[in-house]
Structure formats: structure tokens, C-alpha cells
Amino acid sequence: MGCRTGSGMHKTLKMILFKNSSDLRTFLENNREIKGLKTGFVPTMGALHEGHTSLIRASQAEDGLTICSIFVNPYQFNDRKDFEKYPVDTERDILLLEKAGTDMLFLPSVDEIFPQGKSLEKYEIGYLETVLEGRYRPGHYQGVCQVMSRLLTLINPHHLFMGQKDFQQCLVVKQLISQLKLNVQFHTVPTTRAPDGLALSSRNSRLSPEQRIQAAAISVTLGDIRNEFRGGDPAPVLHIAHEKLEEAGFKTDYIAIARAKDLRPLISWDGKEKAVALIAAFLGEVRLIDNMLLN
Ligand code: AMP
């Protein structure tokens, strides 16, 4: 990208930063260089790590420009404390995104996305809102849909990149895309992990050094399920997994094995249908989630 400045846009070395929607919209619509080029979009809540940069790289592997957003959406936090403690380091994020070669960053305020006085719409999420994350975080996916519908309508990207780490979120957003009849290709990007297997997450920074060591038990447990469960009734396997996690110091919200396409429960698995094991558990006050495909 060349260097451009304009009202509401701040030039960094290569990446263009937008703080308001109308500037971003005008830029996307009017900039001749962009016309004809494809755009890939990577939405985030900041506190970026290598998992996020893997999404940026996946976007760069497609032809076109990569647009990232950083927006800590207050409406997708069902737990106020989790929102207040969500790590924020925008300066560092900007440098990291620029180093990763991101073309544009959208950094809106809460008021920009959710103007005061405007009531929030309700989405028909169906079954996915009643299970796992939907069940344990009431209102979470409404918040996700509210922000994603605004971002996707504004940016109108050709490609959207989201992490398998948030498996259920990928299904919810795919469903939203089809409900809104948006012409965007969805890409699920595999989970980036630390050497001990822990899925990278912004929340990991809130773990104490001791908890950080304990935290690897989630991915170890998922790996055990994947290696040991060959089919049939998942209940005994889940029972053992639950015990292992609790022994490792976790307070488990759920451990489940479900159909990968819609997260419906698998009462008796034939070993062929695409299946996924999912865990959400607390270490102290920090809630961690992870999942692994079983086949
Ligand atoms: P967040 O900032 O946590 O909302 O995450 C923004 C995007 O990054 C979402 O699509 C996440 O699924 C994805 N993401 C978060 N952690 C990872 C990871 N460890 N590996 C791959 N993608 C991730």
C-alpha cells in the first residue's frame, strides 16, 4: 500500500488506520487501487498473539488486501468482570499488525459500532445458542452477531478468516452470513498452540506462572480423547476426561463430543461422521476454551 493520509485516518509506516466507519467505507468504495482487488477480513478483540497473525497470514495467502479490526465488544461479554479484565495494549497490537503486513486496521470506538440510543437487534441463532458456549454464556452469541453483522456489512469483504479455536463461533458466524445473504467466503483457520499444546489466547496472560503450567491439561485431555475414542457411546470417555481435568485443578463448564457440522450430540459415534471434542473450564478466574477434531 502507498502512504495516504486523510481525515480520521492516521498514517503509520505501511498500514492505514481508520477510526470511523464512514472514512473506511469511503476509502473502500473510492480508492481506485482497491477496486478490482479482493479483500480479506480478520476481526479481533486485540491483545494480539500468533494465533491472530496466523489469520492475517491466511488472508495474505489469498490475493488482495488484508483488513483487520480491533474491537472489544462489550455486548459479547456475559461476565462484566471478564470484560473489565480483558487485556488491552493497542500500541503493541498496531506494531504487531504492521509487522505482519496488514494493509488496513479498523479501530472503532464502542459508539461508532453501537451508536447510543439505537436499540440492538436480536438474531435467530437457534440450537447453537442453547448449547456449550451458548448455554454457559447467555447473550454471548447475540453480541457476536450484532458486531459481526455491522463489521461485515461495512467492510463487505470477499474473504473472512476466523479461528477454529472458537469452533462454535465459526458455526454461528457461518449461519449469520447465510441469514444475511452476504457474499463472503468463510475460512476456518487451525488453532495455533504453544509448545506444550495450550491454545494461544489473550486470556492466557491472566494465568499465574503455576496456572500457566496446569493449563496445558486441556489440550492434553483433548488429545487423549482424540487418540482413545474410536466410536460408540462417548459418555465413559467424557467421564474420564472430566476427572482428569478436575484433578489438574480445573473447574469444568463442559466437556463434550459433538457433530462437527452443527454441534448436535453424538449418542453413538460411528467413527466416520466428522466429530469434535470441546472443553470449557476455569483455572481460578480465567475461563479457557479449546477443541479438537476427532477425525
Ligand atoms: P479474539 O481476539 O479472541 O476475539 O479472536 C479473534 C480471532 O482470532 C477469532 O477468529 C479467534 O478464533 C482467532 N483466534 C484466537 N486464538 C487463536 C488461536 N490460538 N489460533 C488461531 N486463531 C485464533
Q: Which of 93, 166, 171, 219 to mutate to test the pocket of ligand 1 (most atoms within 8 A of CB)?
A: 166
* Residue closest to 221 by CA, chosen among 199, 201, 244, 239: 244
* Residue closest to 132 by CA, chosen among 255, 224, 240: 255
The residues carrying an active-site annotation are 52
Burial of 101 per CB tally in 10 Å (0-12, 13-18, 19+): middle
Does any ligand 1 atom lie closer than 6 A to the CB of residue 171?
A: no
Does pLDDT of 13 surpass 70? Answer: no
Instruction: Convert the pLDDT of each residue in 134-156 to its tens digit.
Output: 999 999 999 999 999 999 999 99
Instruction: Convert the pLDDT of each residue in 218-274 to its tens digit.
Output: 999 999 999 999 999 999 999 999 999 999 999 999 999 999 999 999 999 999 999
Does any ligand 1 atom lie closer than 6 A to the CB of residue 200?
A: yes
Read off the DSSP letter of residue 118: P
pLDDT (0 to 100) of residue 259: 98
Q: What spacing in Å lies between the alpha carbon of 210 and ligand 1's midpoint? A: 24
- 147: which strand partners? none
pLDDT (0 to 100) of residue 35: 75
Whether the Cβ atoms of residue 70 and residue 29 lie closer than 8 Å to each other: no
Q: Whose CA is nearest to atom 18 of ligand 1?
A: 51
Q: What spacing in Å lies between the alpha carbon of 51 and ligand 1's midpoint? A: 6
Does pLDDT of 6 surpass 90? Answer: no
pLDDT (0 to 100) of residue 2: 39
Q: Whose CA is nearest to atom 22 of ligand 1?
A: 163
Q: How many CB atoms lie within 10 A of CB 227?
A: 9
Task: Enter the pTM of the model.
Answer: 0.94
Q: What spacing in Å lies between the alpha carbon of 6 and ligand 1's midpoint? A: 31
> Is 293 strand, coil or helix?
strand
Whole-number average pLDDT of the chain? 93
